[in-house]
Structure 1
Amino acid sequence: MRHAFLVIAHNNWWQLKKLIQQLDDESNDIYVHIDKKSKDFHIDDFIGITTYSGLFFYQEYEVFWGGYSQVEVEMYLMDKAHQKGYDYYHIISGADLLLKSNSEIHDFFEKHKGLEFVDINDKKMHSDPEIKRRTKLYHFLQNYRRRYKVEFVNEIFTFLERLCLVLQIIVGINRTKTLDWKIKYGSNWVSITNSLVEVVLREKDKISKVFSYTNCADELFVQTVVYNCGFEERIYKAQDGMPSNVRYIDWSRGRNGNPYTFKIKDKGILLQNKALFARKFSEKVDKEIIEQLVR
C-alpha cells in the first residue's frame, strides 16, 4: 500500500523536520503546504532530508484559522497527491507526530483497508447551536477576525461579523434550507481512501458553494461528503481505545478552543496510547518530548 501524508504547516521548522524524519519511508510520500504568510521558511533547509519518501513543498495560500483557506489547502494537497495515486491520504498538521512506527501504521491500514478514518461528532453538532450556524449563515469576515497583530483591529472585525450574523438571524437567512446535503461535523484531521478523495475533488465546486462563507468549514466538509456521498457505512468505528480518526488529541486540558500541547511529562501517556498519531506538539513549549518520540 502507498500512503500520502498531506501536511499543513506555518512555523516551527525544526519540529517540521522531525515530523518528516518520522514519515520517511519507502511506502510514504510527503506533501507539505507552507502558509504563504510564513516569511521565514527557506526550502533550501529541507533539501535532501528524506532518504525514501518523495517530499514536495507548496506555498500557494495565505491560511487563516477558521477561514475557507484551510479547506482550499486541504483540497489543493489532495489534488497534487491524487495525480500520483495512493491507497490512503492522511491530513495532518506540522504540530503532529507519529505515535507508532511506519510499519505498525502500514499494517493497521492494510488490516482495515477500504475504511475511512473520519470523526463525525453528532452529539456536539446537536448540542452546540454555533456549529449549526456555521453553514446556515454567511460568515463574510471569517478571514479577518484573527489575522492582525493589533488585537483591537481583530476585535472590530469580530464585532462586525457578529453584527452581520445577528442581522441575518433577524431576517431569517438559512443557506442550508434547500441544500440536498446534510451538514456533518467532526475533526478536520482524517485518513481517507483514494475513492473518497476522488469524490471530494469531483465535488469541489459544490464544496466551494456550500462552505466558502462557512466558519471553520474544515471541520465540516469531509464529514459532509462522507455522510452524503455513500461512505457513511465505511467509517471506522472507534474501538478499544482507538479513535475513529486514529488521532490522539487532548481537548480536556486544552484552553481557549485549542487542544493541549504535550510535554515531556506526558511521554508515558503518549507511548501507551493506541492512536497512530497525536497532536499537538510545539518546539517552543517542550522540545524534549519531540526528541523522545523521534528517534
Structure 2
Amino acid sequence: MNYIYAVICHKLTEPLIFTIHTLLKSPLSIIILHIDNKTPNNEVIRIKKKLGDHPNLLYVPEKKRIDVRWGGVSQIEVMLLLLRLAQRYNYKYFSLISGDDIPLSSNKSRESFLNIAYSNRIEFIGYNPVHNAQQRLAIKYPSYFYNKDHSIMGKLCRKIFILYAKYFRTLDISHLPTLYKGSTWFTLTHEAVDYILDYVEKNPKYLNSFKYSLCGDEVFFQTIIFNSLFRYKVYNIENNIPDCERGMRYIDWVSGPSFPRELDNSDFIKMKQSGMLFARKVKSNIDQKEFEFFLL
C-alpha cells in the first residue's frame, strides 16, 4: 500500500522542491499538491515547471483550488478537499504538510517506521490539553482577524475586540461535542481519514459551526478524532509531550524570533536528532545541497 503526502503551498520554495523530489524517489509515495487559488498564474507555471510531471504527483485542478486565508474556515476546506482526493487511492497513511516543510529522514526509514506503526494502527495527531478551544468557535470573528498583523496596535485591537465579543458577539456552540485543540499537521491512517469524512457528511452542521472560527483547523479534526475510539490509538497519548511531537513534527515554538521559528541550517542537528517525520517551517531560500544532510 502507498503513503499519501498532501502538500499545501502558495509559492515556489527550496523546501518544496526538495520535499517533492525526495518523496517521489519512492514508488510508494503519492503526492497531492494544492496550490493556493490566489497564487499568480506565472508563479503556478513556475511551480509546475520546476516540480515537473510524474505519475505519482497530482496537482489539484484549478477549478477545485481554494483561496486559503490564514485562520479562516478555508484552511479546513482545503484540508477536507485533500482528504477526499486521497480516497481515490489505496494507502496506509495520509500526511498533511506545507510547502515550508521537509522530511527528516530517507524514504526507506520513514516508510519502515510508518509500516510498523500501521500494524498497530497508530495515529499521529497533536493535542494540547490545557488550551481553551471553546474561544476559537464561540466568538464570531471579523475578517481582519485573518490577517497576520503582529504590530502592537493590531494586538491591542484584537484584545479589545475579544473582551467586547465575549458579551455581544458570542455564538451558541452547545450542540458541539467536547472540543479539542492541537497542531494542524498530522499523519493519519486511511481508516481515520474515512471516519473523519464520514462524520462530516453525516453531521453537516459541524462544518458550518466553524464558519466564523479563528484557527479552527486546529480544533476541527482533533475534536472528531478525540471524541472517537481513535483517541486510544494516538501516538504517545498517555505521555505529556508537545502536541506537535504527537503528530511527529519538529516545530520550534520557543526560540523565536518568529513563532513558530523559521528553521535554518543552525537548527539542522536538533531537527535530525528529534526523530520526527517532518520539520516546519523551514526558510524558503536554503540551498538544496544542505537538505541532503537529512537523507544520510
2:127 equivalent to 1:120: yes
In the aligned structure 1, how far is the partner of 2:2 from the partner of 2:274?
Answer: 25
Shift, 1:210, TM fit: 2.1
Q: How does 1:98-247 map to 2 (within 5 A)?
A: 98-113=103-118, 114-123=121-130, 125-126=131-132, 131-141=133-143, 145-146=147-148, 159=157, 165-171=162-168, 173-176=170-173, 178-204=174-200, 205-237=204-236, 243-247=245-249
CA offsets 1:29-63 (integer angstroms, 9 cap, x no match): 00011111111221233323x5xx60011251111
Shift, 1:26, TM fit: 0.9
Name the CA shift for 1:56/1:143 in 2 (closer, same or farther; >3 Å): farther
CA offsets 1:155-201 (integer angstroms, 9 cap, x no match): 78x95x7676444422483422x224111001000001111111221
Paired amino acid for 1:210: S
Query: What secondary structure does 1:112 align onto?
Result: helix
> Corresponding residue for 1:17?
17
In the aligned structure 1, how far is the partner of 2:2 from the partner of 2:293?
Answer: 27
Name the CA shift for 1:9/1:101 in 2 (closer, same or farther; >3 Å): same
In the aligned structure 1, how far is the partner of 2:83 from the partner of 2:286?
Answer: 31
Paired amino acid for 1:95: D
Pick which of 195-204 and 235-244 moved more. 235-244
> Corresponding residue for 1:62?
67
In the aligned structure 1, how far is the partner of 2:262 from the partner of 2:49?
Answer: 29
In the aligned structure 1, how far is the partner of 2:15 from the partner of 2:263?
Answer: 13
Gapped runs of 5+ residues in structure 1? Answer: none
> Corresponding residue for 1:6?
6
2:48 equivalent to 1:41: no
2:257 equivalent to 1:260: no
Aligned length in residues: 279
Paired amino acid for 1:83: R
TM-score (norm 2): 0.83
Query: What secondary structure does 1:262 align onto?
Result: coil
In the aligned structure 2, how far is the partner of 1:202 from the partner of 1:6?
Answer: 19
Paired amino acid for 1:116: E
Query: What secondary structure does 1:252 align onto?
Result: coil
CA offsets 1:128-167 (integer angstroms, 9 cap, x no match): xxx43111111242675349xxx99xx78x95x7676444
> Corresponding residue for 1:84?
89
In the aligned structure 1, how far is the partner of 2:223 from the partner of 2:80?
Answer: 14
Shift, 1:79, TM fit: 0.4
2:15–2:102 contact (8 Å) kept in structure 1: no
Shift, 1:255, TM fit: 3.6
Query: What secondary structure does 1:220 align onto?
Result: helix
Shift, 1:225, TM fit: 0.6
In the aligned structure 1, how far is the partner of 2:288 from the partner of 2:14?
Answer: 10
Name the CA shift for 1:44/1:268 in 2 (closer, same or farther; >3 Å): closer
Paired amino acid for 2:249: R
In the aligned structure 1, how far is the partner of 2:71 from the partner of 2:292?
Answer: 30
Paired amino acid for 2:44: F
2:125–2:187 contact (8 Å) kept in structure 1: yes
In the aligned structure 2, how far is the partner of 1:199 from the partner of 1:166?
Answer: 37
In the aligned structure 2, how far is the partner of 1:199 from the partner of 1:32?
Answer: 22
